[in-house]
Structure 1
Amino acid sequence: MNIGKLMLNGTLILAPMSLVTNLPFRLLCKKYGVALVYSEMTFSEAILRQNETSIARGFTCDEERPLGIQLLGAKADSIVRSARIVTKIFRPELIDINLGCPAQSVIKNECGAALLKKPGTVVEIVEALSGSLEVPVTAKMRILNSLEETLELARLIEKAGADALIVHGRTQKQQYSGKSSYEFIKNIKRELSIPVIANGDIKDEKTAKYVLEYTQCDGLMIGRAAMGNPHIFRRLGHYLDTGELLPPQTPGERLDDFFEYAGLCRKYGLLGFRDIVVKAQWFTKGMKNVKPVRVKINRMTDVDSVLRVMEELRADASGC
């Protein structure tokens, strides 16, 4: 799949997720074969205010490339100026504009999914970005209530100069409830000549194959299914290539991934208590007889204590 001048080796893409897709997590997903990773969404106005935390969300390294940086904003001028800043610092392979975040804190600032009701502003933003940057520009949108409204917006985004469109098949009102509409995504793909990437509810091998075949999309974007489970990209990629199901990871292998994540966080100065607690919960989700351990983790007060608990769990898993 090509996005503008960017050639991707594969069809699987990691979704931008707030408080999830930091550099260490993206590197784990890259290890398991993802073709493209996206940063956490970053508010353009925060970049312009030189907010160090916001700017650092684009922190990258050669091993994870290609990288897309996703920007959130309501004004074309601010988004373009912030895009110029992050492209100068981090040299990402593409820039994405967020047209889909349904969080109320985002909606009240007229960003994210709120822009779906302002097609003129969307066109202005995409035109300004595509006309100002040397890297490809993508947009990630949600669907609207009617198919025709959704198709019209998709056509406008393509005409404005986007190099690819990512479509989450839920409305803003749905948040993450209900089911993703692959029917809407299929119709968008039929309408556009740029690559269309399907997003929403792609959580296993058979769903991935069905969505690709049904929608005829160029790629799949995986979000929540990868949380605590970066290995999903190897499973999906292998199945799409061969039709064969790989065996699931053992608990020990999942815990090895957790410790690799923690090691990468330490290496890049990103090892924080709250984050490591959350990731410990994610990487142990679904394991047998792990509830007491998860409760214990929540009682910890420092990083080293969490890591000791997880090391004990890994030792027990290795002895099984």
Structure 2
Amino acid sequence: MKLKKLTIGSTELPGNLLLAPMADVTNLAFRLLCRQYGADLTYTEMINADALINENRKALMKGLTDQEDWPFGVQLVGNSPESLREAALLVEEELRPVVIDVNMGCPAKCITRAGCGSALLKSPEIVHKIISGLVDSLETPVSAKVRILGREEESLEIARLIEDAGALALTVHGRTAEQMYSGSSDLGQIRAIKNEVSIPVIANGDIRDEESAEHALEFTGCDGLMVGRAAMGNPFIFWRIRHYLETGEKLEPDPRTRQFEDFEAYINLLEEYGILSSINLRMQAQWFTKGLHGSRHIREKINGLKDAKSIIELMKSSCRKEY
């Protein structure tokens, strides 16, 4: 299967594999590592529009991106058309991203209780007002990331509305907000949305390996794939998927060696960009051991460590031992 080149606005990407914006995950160092492995577009962690306007803007944007981090998108979360517009103008001026995305899919209660994320899908008129207001005010292309709704026609209505408001791309997670991350992604609804609109549609949800990526692209006919949780602790997934889609062959790396090497490379990037102290390294180290033989024993040891140096030494020594 030949990889498509996804175009958003005037930017043509080299391919169509995207890293999803994920809170506490897609910091600059992790994005750069995923980019090295073939992610064609990466997104910052979502930024709260109200916080960007009312709090220390420089502190929120510190270490957010770098000249090596290109192309990248910024995702904003909020429920006020005015606040989102003001925040987006700040982002455009300060960061110059390829695309500004509006989070309309996050199902977390701390987000939906504030009327943000997937809660916006219950108010189509606000969705239209948000997108159209951004499109009218920005030079940067605008996109949205949504979840499907209970009935397909409701999902199609939201997709049509977002396109009509002027968005230049749409990412669809194939689960409802009520499902959270349980059950399966509904590729049928994603395909229906792709057939309904003319803007690029990116499939998200259950893209976890080579076969699921190929099936999602072929079944939905989407213009791109967005990888989320499957990339946590596993940035190499982008190289695996790209290689498989281009050649039909699977790579067979030693997962133990690969994941520990990637963790070390990740640490080096965190230190290089001065953001090591701002992340939960214990949690992220556990992601890099997921699925490995003896990973439970390693994670138990990680839980007892308090500083980054000790965690790094444990991970290095674990690469040389068998559990």
What interval of TM-score do these two structures reach, taking the shorter chain for normalisation?
A: over 0.9
1:255 correspondence with 2:263: no
Give the C-alpha shift of residue 12 in structure 1: 0.5
- Is the aligned partner of 1:96 residue 2:101? yes
- Structure 2 letter corresponding to 1:284: T
**For structure 1, which segment, 283-292 or 18-27, has the greater mean C-alpha deviation from structure 2 after superposition?**
283-292
8 Å Cα contact 1:39/1:57 also seen in 2: no
Runs of 4+ more than 6 Å apart: none
1 CA distance for matches of 2:214 and 2:53?
41
Instruction: Tell me if 1:7 matches 2:17.
Output: no
Aligned to 2:298: 293
One of 125, 132, 135 as aligned partner of 1:127: 132
Q: TM-score of the superposition, structure 2-length normalised?
A: 0.95
The residue type paired with residue 82 of structure 2 is D
Which segments of 5 or more consecutive residues in structure 1 lack a partner in the other structure? none
User: Are residues 1:112 and 2:135 paired?
Assistant: no
Query: Pairwise CA RMSD of aligned residues?
Result: 1.6
Corresponding residue of 1:141: 146
Q: TM-score, normalised by structure 1?
A: 0.96
Tell me, yes or no, if the aligned pair for 1:262 and 1:276 is still in contact at 8 Å: no
Counterpart in 1 of 2:277?
272
1:76 aligns with 2:75: no
In structure 1, give the amino acid aligned to 2:10.
K
Which digits, 9 at most, give the CA deviation of each residue in 1:75-115, with x for residues without a partner? 11100110111221111111000000001111111000000
- Distance in 2, matches of 1:305 and 1:247, equals 30
Please point out which of 217, 223, 234 is paired with 2:222: 217
TM-superposition CA deviations, 1:275-310 (whole Å, max 9, x none): 211111111111112322211110011111111111
CA distance in structure 1 between the partners assigned to 2:63 and 2:144 by the alignment: 17
Q: Which residue of 2 aligns with 1:20?
A: 25
1:216-235 superposed matches below 5 A: 216-235=221-240
Q: Quote the residue 2:211 is aligned against.
A: 206
2:162 pairs with 1:176: no
For 1:180 and 1:101, the matched residues in 2 are separated by 15
- Pairwise CA distance, 1:314: 2.4
Letter in 2 for 1:228: G
